[in-house]
Amino acid sequence: MKSRAFGIALISIAFVACGGAYAQQQVIGAPPEASNMKLVGYNDLQARSAYQPTIHHQGDRYIAYIGHHGGTDEIPDPVNPLTGKAEPNGTSIVDVTDPAHPKYLHHIPGQEGKYEGGGAQMVRVCDGKSLPKGDPNAVYLLRAVGSQGHEIWNVADPANPVLVTKIGENLKDTHKNFWECDTGIAYLVSGAPDWRTRRMTQIYDLSDPAHPQKIRDFGLPGQEPGSTGAVPTELHGMISTGPQGNRVYFGYGTDKGGIMQIVDRDKLLNGPKEPTAQNLRYPEISEMAMSAFNGAHTTFPMKDMPIAEFANDKDGKTRDIVMLVDEAILNECGEPRQMVWFADVTTETRPMMISSWTVPEASGHFCERGGRFGSHSSNESMAPVYYKKMAFIAFFNAGVRALDIRDPYHPKEVGYFIPSITAATDKRCVPVDGAQRCKVAIQTNNVETDDRGYIYIVDRANTGMHILELTGAARKAAGLP
Amino acid sequence: MRGLLIACGVMLCTLSGVAAVQHVRSGPSTAGSNWHEIAWPFPRDGWPAGRAFRCDASACGGEVELYVRPKIGFCNCDTGVADDDEVDRVADLDLMSRRFVPRETGKVIRISDMAGRARSYDLKMTDGSDHTAVGFALSHRCDLMVAVAQGEGTAEGVRRAAVEFLDTSDMTHWMSSALNGG
């Protein structure tokens, strides 16, 4: 009897050690994994690796603009079926007015180069009529082009974009820009050749997109030209609350040594501009250093959030919250967990982390599935449908996760969707004893929402774009009918 | 049942065998060289601790310490170590002191199948003393192997001693293994 019990225990250990994980690997043809979210529509995005989707309500249409990484070793320049030509990955333009039947309209080629060495990852869109000096008939698309510069296109006719102008050249890198559509102020993640970091901020006045006006360069002291000593963590991106909020929240560090920097926007734009350490420090209100294990990919501000638990307190009933999302960069859990953090920044000079959230790894044996597991980014739309209520987190091989954030001290998952892989889904490899061991898994990279409540997720491993909606308890939590 | 038990036994033996191999591969041998391994002297940061070595003054013309570790996924896959700014950023000089000034333009360097740059610096330590250091950043696909050497001798002497040690077969084997999932 004892030996039988011992045998059962050994079998259990063996199952946990090697059995359960492989049962979770995705296979072509298997249905998506979902809870309180369902698929509405799909487009394959010409099997291009996707970064940022931006959904723009354009007249009576909804248009999705999707930035792409460069191509792969196997297919550096996928063929665009609309032109019949091989085109380096750039920007996909998809009409999603009917989300059940998205229609691919146009592909703007990007910079030659593979993976992060090419493409046109970032995209923001502003209407000409909202920009102070824009052509009221134009719709402007701002995109980062590969590592070398930025471009503005007129996409008033999204099937026939027209190049307006180019900004910057010979940069070391580009990345996650932000553009204020009511003022035209743009914060461009760039790598100015003379700065000591790959990524810093170049601020432009793009109120007249055809005539960009440089305002200043910005970064952390120690990154500026001519400085010496340790170089602070490079920039990842920023979000501005515009002239009304008068704050810009910068996120530095991708997966390590993150810093959230809170900056006075007015001082940033109108203060002394020479890139000295003193001038770079002038507009800063505070910096919050994160663990060396985590970076700040997305810094999403949510001011004046009522906290139910504090409703009867005489002070501090509402809190200013910033949601910080790290980016996982290594396959198969090769680094500390990258996840979601909530900081209470009500007292701006003393921001404090108040909660965190991650997908439980054991819920899907995600470290064994292949590719990256961990967070990457959140939706950035501030449309009332979800703002301060629900957040959507792209979690690579764990798909997209819907969080109820009405109490940011206790964020709670209410839904998820992990798309099926397809024949186009690219492999992800890790070195094992000198050889590459590869697996195929979904890699949900970025997510955005529109003002109707649809959720758009795009895949880094070439699987395309899935358009989703909430169902059940998640839909109820969001207050949707 | 018997078959399953045998399978479990094989699996457990395999796992323990893997662990044993990893233990054997955990560090390069310094037998026969003028260098000996010392404990990694720095607090935990964003990357796992690396390996630290010391060469006595009698052998290296002045005591030299070398700290070396991989930084996986921390290199531009296309351009590698493109310029001296990258050496400033990644070469772990800040583990010793955040205040350092380059002494010169860096030099292109190749060790085994890794290419990169090396640059010498003056370090101002927290106790006010001055040290000489040489930073190394070597790329391997999208990964980096970084090293920093500090010593009492000349920058050229520190650099030469460090390069000779990094280029030994034990070290190149260990670095290759560390970057290739060994």
Check CB contact under 8 Å for B1 and A7: yes
Q: A231 and chain B: CB distance < 8 Å anywhere?
A: yes
Asked if A157 and A139 count as a contact pair (C-beta separation under 8 A), the reply is no
Question: Which tens digit of pLDDT belongs to each residue from A295-326?
Answer: 999 999 999 999 999 999 999 999 999 999 99
Q: How many CB pairs under 8 A join A and B?
A: 84
Interchain CB distance below 8 Å, A11 and B8: yes
Minimal C-alpha gap between A293 and chain B (Å) = 5
Contact with chain A for residue B160, Cβ under 8 A: no
Name the residue among B11, B46, B94 with its Cβ closest to that of A230.
Answer: B94
In chain A, what percentage of residues exceed pLDDT 90? Answer: 92
pLDDT given at position B137: 97
Partners of B78 on chain A (C-beta within 8 Å) are 113-115, 117
Identify whether the C-beta of residue B99 lies closer than 8 Å to the C-beta of residue A231: no
pLDDT in tens, A395-443: 999 999 999 999 999 999 999 999 999 999 999 999 998 899 999 999 9
Q: Residue A116: which residues within 8 A CB-CB, separation 6 or more?
A: A69, A70, A147, B76, B77
Q: What is the pLDDT of residue A144?
A: 96
ipTM of the complex: 0.86
Q: How far is CA A460 from CA A160, A336, B129, in A?
A: 26, 21, 49
How high is the pLDDT of residue B181? 81
- pLDDT average, residue stretch A63-78: 95
Residue in A10, A13, A111, A170 to test binding to B, most B beta-carbons within 10 Å:
A10
Cα A271 from Cα A294, distance rounded (Å):
31
Token duo for residue B81? 């170590």
Tokens of A255: 């997966």
Mean pLDDT score, A76-94 = 97
What pLDDT is attached to residue B29?
Answer: 59
Domain boundaries, chain A: 49-384+393-400
Res B72: pLDDT:
93
Give B89 to chain A, closest Cα distance, Å: 5
Q: What local confidence, expressed as pLDDT, does residue B16 receive? A: 39
For residues A243 and A34, give the distance between their C-alpha atoms in angstroms, rounded to a whole number: 40
Residue B30: predicted pLDDT = 65
The C-alpha of A371 sits at a distance from chain B's nearest C-alpha, in angstroms, of 13
Q: Is A3 on the interface with B (CB under 8 A)?
A: no
Residue B25, chain A, CB below 8 Å: the answer is no
Closest residue of chain B to A118, computed from CA coordinates = B78
Give the least confident one: A72-76, A147-151, A304-308, B29-33: B29-33
Structure confidence at residue A24 (pLDDT) = 74
Q: Is A237 exposed, middle or buried (0-12, 13-18, 19+ CB in 10 A)?
A: buried
Residues of B in contact with A433 (CB under 8 A): 180-182
Q: Which CATH architecture has domain A49-384+393-400?
A: 7 Propeller (2.130)
Does the beta-carbon distance from A433 to B44 stay under 8 Å? no
Q: A335 and B73: CB-CB below 8 Å?
A: yes
Predicted confidence band at A8 (pLDDT cuts at 50, 70, 90)? very low
Residues 5 to 24 of A: which have CB under 8 A from any B CB?
Answer: 7, 10-11, 13-14, 17-18
State which residue of chain B sits closest to A196, comparing Cα positions.
B85
How far, in Å, CA of A400 to CA of A377, rounded?
Answer: 10
Confidence (pLDDT) at A252 = 97
Residue B27: per-residue pLDDT = 54
At which residue do the structure tokens 């078959």 appear?
Answer: B3
A289–B contact, CB cutoff 8 A? no
Q: Does B3 touch chain A if contact means CB atoms closer than 8 Å? A: no
User: HSE (CB half, 13 Å, CA atoms) of A12?
Assistant: 6
pLDDT on residue B28:
58
- Please give the residue of chain A at the shortest CA–CA distance from B122: A229
* pLDDT tens series, chain B, 182 aa: 444 444 434 443 333 333 333 333 455 556 568 999 999 999 999 999 999 999 999 999 889 999 999 999 887 787 889 899 999 999 999 999 999 999 999 999 999 999 999 999 999 988 998 899 999 999 998 899 999 999 888 999 999 999 999 999 999 999 999 998 87
| pLDDT value of residue B92 | 96
Q: Is A84 on the interface with B (CB under 8 A)?
A: no
Question: How much is the mean pLDDT over chain A?
Answer: 94
Chain A hits for B177, CB-CB cut-off 8 Å, are 434
Return the pLDDT at B31.
59
Angstroms from A330 CA to nearest CA on chain B: 7
A467 versus A17: the higher-pLDDT residue is A467
Which of A256, A291, A294 would best serve as a mutation to test chain B binding (most B beta carbons within 10 A)? A256
Residue numbers in B near A76 (CB within 8 A): none
pTM score over 0.95: no
Q: Where are the domains of chain B?
A: 28-179
Contacts of B178 (CB under 8 A, 6+ apart): B69, B70, B145
CA distance A235 to chain B (A): 13
User: In B, residues 68-97, which contact A (CB 8 Å cutoff)?
Assistant: 72-73, 76-79, 82, 85, 88-89, 93-94
Residue matched to tokens 């995705």: A26
**Domain B28-179, what fold?**
Protein Transport Mog1p; Chain A (3.40.1000)
Q: What average pLDDT does range A53-59 have in this prediction? A: 97
Test mutation, A228, A290, A429, chain B, max B CBs within 10 A: A228
Interface touch B46/A257, C-beta < 8 Å: yes
List of chain A residues whose C-beta atoms are within 8 Å of the C-beta of residue B8:
10-11, 13-14
SS3 B34: coil
Tokens representing residue A76 in the block: 């550096």
Answer whether B24 touches A (CB < 8 Å). no
